[in-house]
A and B are shown apart, each in its own frame.
Chain A
Amino acid sequence: MKALKCRECGREYPLAATHVCEFDFGPLEVVYDYPTIKKSLTRAAIESRPQTMWRYRELLPVAEGPTVGVEVGFTPLIKADRLAKALGIRELWVKNDAVNYPTLSFKDRVVSVALSRARELGFKVVACASTGNLANSVAANAAAAGLKAYVFIPADLEQGKIVNSLIYGAQVIGIKGHYDEVNRLCAEIAGKYGWAFVNVNMRPYYAEGSKSMGYEIIEQLGWKVPKHTVICMASGSLLTKIHKSYQEVQKLGLVGETDYHIYGAQATGCSPISSAQKAGLDFFKPVKPNTIAKSLAIGTPADGFYALKVMKETHGAAEDVTDDEIRDAIKLLAETEGIFAETAGGVTVGVAKKLIASGKIPAKDSAVLCITGNGLKTLDAVTGHCGQPREIRPSLREFESLLAAENPSLVNA
């Protein structure tokens, strides 16, 4: 880590808790000393380290190594043959952050970095604006680190996501409004209180944590950049950081130069980025979200411009899916691969299906789908849409009559 630098005008700033350029409000990003990193960060060095996201620590913005979330990451990359067949593509991989440690979403990656850095900078109170998963992760990781946490969420979130923040003893504040309003309030609170808001004043550090998902995909594919990667978009940050991870790994010579395509997935009920991409625009129009994919319900996406730029530069694309398509895709992933993803995962799978069907992702190729969160947290979204258990008395006769009615070939006469 050398400095923070404005992505718009290039002005540099010290490595403090600050996220926007004083001149043009552009986002600040961490600058690394790549030539020095290149000397020590080899495949062999990485492979000799524990299987966590911190095996790529030179590329993550903490000064002294992690103190929070040391065990996060290195989630499974699954070869999804049954899903590949269902979607009509030769080869498919699922990067499964639904089982990330400790709170079952990719947010543990960014929080691990943000809280480790917050401690280095001397903060005692941490906070966030969240659509749910981030609140869960800040609450849990702050508890384990002995930090006080305030998490701000839209008041109408799924019950699972609310309980999953409260249980850790975090101060949970439900805001009567949608996420963009929560975000605006948090920007104001962050300006007034000296707290470490992981996705406001700590955002330059926080956002870098997402790169670890990309490094892992490459290493788990046998040090290969995937040709096609489908990523869900809320603020668009994850998509831009996975792209950055692919770039860095090439720049450091860990893999050869290769072409790849990045695809963004949104819910039709909140699709400012995918609508702009499909219309060929390089700017988006803010929207008021209305979708079951609440974790993606950001109507004013902070990284929307950059996400559009990445898709354009990599000759990728964006697509969006309706609430019904999201539920169908959650079921499809569960029934073919035994992975229960939250609504955002349904968005990714549903969009992949459309992109393959339209030929934007060629059927002869191989693709990676990024699954970012766990279905157990969004049960409300699928309850009543995946059938009901049939109730019978504890009687063999009743069971066999049920079986005969439904599946006669299985009856053991």
Chain B
Amino acid sequence: MSAKVRIPTPLRKLTNDEELIEVNATTVGDVIGELQNRFPGIKERLLDESGAVRRFVNVYVNEEDIRFLQNKDTKLKDGDEISIIPAIAGG
């Protein structure tokens, strides 16, 4: 599936300042795998030692928090938009 990932400012040094990355993946977990292949080092920024999404990282598929979907197992379809956003904001 072809999806687009929006990269937040703190990670753009790893993506050569690219903000929107096109990936081919079937789940959110696959997306992170593909990002790691293309931009080594990005995985450890997103996942903790146990492989779970870090507690201050929020991931959204088409504006829905993946914690309300199936977390890293959330399935993707063609044209989906994935946003990675720092959790610390607001309030």
Q: Do these two chains really belong together in a complex?
A: yes
Q: Which residues of A contact B (CB under 8 A)?
A: 8, 19-27, 129, 179-184, 186-188, 190-191, 197, 199-200, 203, 234-237, 283, 285-286, 288, 298, 300-303, 305
20 more A-B residue pairs beyond the given contacts A26-B56, A27-B88, with a C-beta to C-beta distance below 8 A: A20-B10, A20-B88, A21-B10, A22-B11, A24-B56, A25-B87, A27-B56, A180-B65, A182-B90, A184-B85, A187-B8, A187-B89, A203-B89, A236-B91, A283-B55, A288-B68, A298-B91, A300-B58, A302-B87, A302-B90
* A20-B56, A24-B45 known; A301+B86 contact, CB < 8 A: no
Q: Is B10 in contact with A188, judged by CB distance below 8 angstroms?
A: no
Q: Is B45 in contact with A129, judged by CB distance below 8 angstroms?
A: no
- Residues on the A chain within 8 Å of B85, using CB: 184, 187-188
**Residues of chain B from 44 to 76 with CB closer than 8 A to chain A in the complex:** 45, 54-58, 60, 63, 65, 67-68
Q: Is B9 in contact with A199, judged by CB distance below 8 angstroms?
A: no
The prevalent SS among residues of A at the interface is loop
Q: Is B67 in contact with A26, judged by CB distance below 8 angstroms?
A: no
Q: Is A200 in contact with B54, judged by CB distance below 8 angstroms?
A: no
Q: Is A179 in contact with B90, judged by CB distance below 8 angstroms?
A: yes
Number of B residues near A (Cβ < 8 Å) is 25
Closest A residue, CB atoms, query B84: A25
A-B contact pairs, 10 of them (CB 8 A): A19-B89, A25-B56, A182-B90, A190-B89, A199-B90, A203-B89, A235-B91, A236-B91, A286-B65, A302-B89
Partner of A286, one of B63, B68, B88: B68
B77 within 8 A of A: no
- Residues on the B chain within 8 Å of A188, using CB: 6, 83, 85
A183 vs chain B, min Cβ distance (A): 4
B13 within 8 A of A: yes
- Residues on the A chain within 8 Å of B60, using CB: 184
Q: Is B88 in contact with A26, judged by CB distance below 8 angstroms?
A: yes
B32 vs chain A, min Cβ distance (A): 14
CA distance A169 to B68 in the complex (A): 37
Q: Is B90 in contact with A200, judged by CB distance below 8 angstroms?
A: yes
- Residues on the A chain within 8 Å of B63, using CB: 181, 184
* A25-B45, A286-B65 known; A186+B87 contact, CB < 8 A: no
A247 vs chain B, min Cβ distance (A): 20
Q: Is B91 in contact with A186, judged by CB distance below 8 angstroms?
A: no
- Residues on the B chain within 8 Å of A203, using CB: 88-89
Q: Is B54 in contact with A129, judged by CB distance below 8 angstroms?
A: no
